[in-house]
Amino acid sequence: MTEEEVVRRERLQKIREAGNDPYPARVKRTRKVAEFLNLFEEIEKNGEVVTLVGRVLAIRVHGGLSFIHIEDGSEKMQLVFKKDHLGEEHYQAFKDTLDMGDFVEVTGRTFTTQKGEKSLAADSYRVIAKSLLPMPEKWHGLVDQEIRYRQRYLDLMSNEEVRHIFRIRSAVLSAMRKFLDEHGYMEVETPILQSIPGGAAARPFTTHHNALNADLYLRIAPELYLKRLLVGGFERVYEVSRCFRNEGIDHSHNPEFTQIEGYAAYMDYQEQMTLMEELMLVAIKAAGREVNAVPFKGQVLDFSAPWTRLTFRDAVLKFTSIDIEDYPDKESLTKIMEEKNLEVDPGASYGTLLDNLYKQTVRPAIVQPTYVYDYPAAISPLVKRKEGDPRYIEMFQLVYGGGEENIKAFSELNDPIDQEARFDEQTAARATGDEEAQFSDPDYVVAMKHGMPPNGGFGIGIDRLIAMLTDAPNLKEVILFPTLRPEE
């Protein structure tokens, strides 16, 4: 126990010895701080007695006059404690027991200082939550990244700009939900614990259910369950889903993340492009940004619609001089990638190699918002093939900022025979060592055999979206409690 905690525990005991509960179950509050400040003149005119609550941020004692700054969830303000007003006993008790970080309930009347600061002159006060550990250094905020992420409550307590990021996150999510609701989508919930992890190319986390004596997986995506709902008769569904992927941690990846994923019957990927542009503009405005001037990584992104569009083939050709149609199999593609000094995973499937080629060359070269579309069919086993050219699928992604990508959307596959064949291909890829190849899901194929309407689906990574909208350098800044290495 630190010396500081020892002293604070002694002050806690003094409060109890005086017959007061330092942790009451109920408190009284007649106004929030922001409301009090906004209506100050009206409250003063009416002679209203006001009760405020908040955390103590600063204490300045000047003999028989003291100034205490507090903050609630709305704003900061100043309290004035006067010895001749509170009485000597209560004034001395305040000096003996109150610390920065304590939560207080204060009742009093309006008071304007000589400098014109709107304040509350206290008639009475009480501690409603005694803090036993000190706040971070008050003038410069908390800057140690390790502490900021591990003890996010200290980060939020001391850094207003961090709290602002998460207010933006909440506002953006609310706006996106409202947009989808207004466009006929219904919000649903699907299983997080799954017997077969599907819907994405990723390694899952495994857990065990004792009562069933069965291994289960944390979902990597809600896709296959959402599309089962289309079979069941719902035309448009979406989920704000927490997903889990057993992958590395870096500036743009966290093992658990949030995405919005949705599916609409009778909609193809071209219609999805327009819908996603509209949805993104709603999100940008909810974050308080101008759509044509979003600062990100030292650049200014222009999200004015329509965005630039490039096919996957043309994008690779533009930035590498490789025409993927000249390299239709794993062996030939491996050879040209090695000649170009690109990283090659010998255990990867042809589709994974194509994806790696794209990630190494195309993504870093795109700065302004761009749709990359018509991906090779080998990259995703769940997407409808293009009419007239089955080598490609009706899929697009939004790329921006020199390598960031978000919004993945498709014309979804609804042919159960084709789907079953592609699951077989993925099973074969897993057998050859591709750990990110998808699991086969026979029940999903059965659902499709009952008839799935033509549909378009999308997924939007919320963490990456908020990082872009707040110009955050990494995802840890926009996830309240990011995954970290265990402490030694």
Tell me the per-residue pLDDT of 31-88, one tens digit each, with 9 for 90 and over.
999 999 999 999 999 999 999 999 999 999 999 999 999 999 999 999 999 999 999 9
For residue 234, what pLDDT is reported? 98
Q: What b/e string do you get for 39-65 counting C-beta neighbours within 10 Å, with b at 16 or more?
A: bbeebeeeeeebbbbbbbbebeeeeee
- Output 211-218 pairs: Cβ under 8 A, ≥24 positions apart: 217/193, 218/192, 218/193, 218/194, 218/243, 218/244
Q: Where in the chain is the domain with CATH 2.40.50.140?
A: 3-135
CA dist 334 and 121 (Å) reads: 76
Structure tokens that stand for 119 in this block:
């304040």
CA dist 195 and 444 (Å) reads: 12
pLDDT 10s digits, 150-201:
999 999 998 999 999 999 999 999 999 999 999 999 999 999 999 999 888 8
Pairing of strands 50-62, 103-112: antiparallel
Is the CATH code 1.10.565.10 the one for domain 3-135?
no
CA dist 147 and 364 (Å) reads: 31
pLDDT over 60 at 140, yes or no: no
Out of 230-244, 371-385, 441-455, which region has the weakest mean confidence (pLDDT)?
371-385
pTM for the predicted model, two decimal places: 0.90
pLDDT 10s digits, 430-474:
888 887 788 899 999 999 999 999 999 999 999 999 999 999 999
Q: Where in the chain is the domain with CATH 3.30.930.10?
A: 156-477
In CATH, what is the architecture of 156-477?
2-Layer Sandwich (3.30)
For residue 371, what are the β-bridge partners? 309, 398
pLDDT over 70 at 381, yes or no: no
Angle, in degrees to the nearest 10, between helices 223-232 and 442-449: 20
